[in-house]
Amino acid sequence: MDKLQIVKIGGNVIENRMALEEFLTDFSHLKEAKILVHGGGKEATQMAEKLGIPVQIIDGRRITDAANLEIISMLYAGKLNKTIVAQLQATGCNALGLSGADGNSIRAETRAPKPINFGFVGDITAVNASLFNTLLAQEITPVCCAITHDKNGQLLNTNADTIASEIAIAMSAHFEVSLNYCFEKKGVLQRLEDENSVIPIINSSSYEILKNDNTINNGMLPKIHNCFEALKKGVNQVRIGSPKMITGKEIHTQIQL
């Protein structure tokens, strides 16, 4: 079975032009088939503040009203996505930017309004694996932003970590899939103040211990949940670390069942 690398990039890396360019160069050099998924929450928050549009975050998740959805759609599916695609083209990587609506690539349904009404936030119901297979067969690299759709004309804000996990699960029937979550740290840290205190392996039992003693903070919990879900549903390998992790030359955290 051929190998597929799915890489999710987010956090401060997207906002740092030099770091982003360096990552995209490394990503373009991956020899296996590859898919890139990106977030971009901080820039959306800054844009909303400039426009005087309130931003509400509950439990680390953004409430997406109609005004915030407009900003998110413009930034995620527009500026950020096309900037990344253009930079990949400059490295010789033939990339194609996608929202979930493009090619019906990722469908979702609006999250139930209780216990918290998150507004126009989508929970994924289907990934169009045949579309991704067709693009990869043509040596085209999909670049997915954190926007899905409900097949009734409505765009939805969807967590980029979850998008990466669901694509990885859908593609695991066709490829040997590695899922890579890249952000500004070298991995999951034993001590937040020590950049080098990377926990090399987290499995189901050690995860419970790390969670109970508060070593893993709230922001990391949904990411690791996505990691375990991916492994349970057929993904071969899941890693969390810095963008340099994809070169194979950087320590990182490996997630195992």
Its pTM stands at: 0.96
Q: What is the model's pLDDT at position 239?
A: 97
Identify the structural domains of the chain with CATH numbers, from first to last.
3-255 (3.40.1160.10)
- Output the CA torsion sign for 91, 166, 239, 80: positive
> What's the pLDDT score for residue 40?
85
The CA-based angle 142-92-245, given to 5 degrees, is 65
Q: How far apart are CA 11 and CA 31, in angstroms?
A: 25
- Cβ(132)–Cβ(35) under 8 Å? yes
- Residue 20 pLDDT > 80: yes
Mean pLDDT throughout 40-64? 87
What integer pLDDT is reported at residue 213 of this predicted model?
Answer: 87
Mean pLDDT score, 104-120: 96
Beta strands in 47-182 (DSSP E): 57-58, 61-62, 95-98, 106-110, 122-127, 141-144, 147-149, 155-157, 176-182
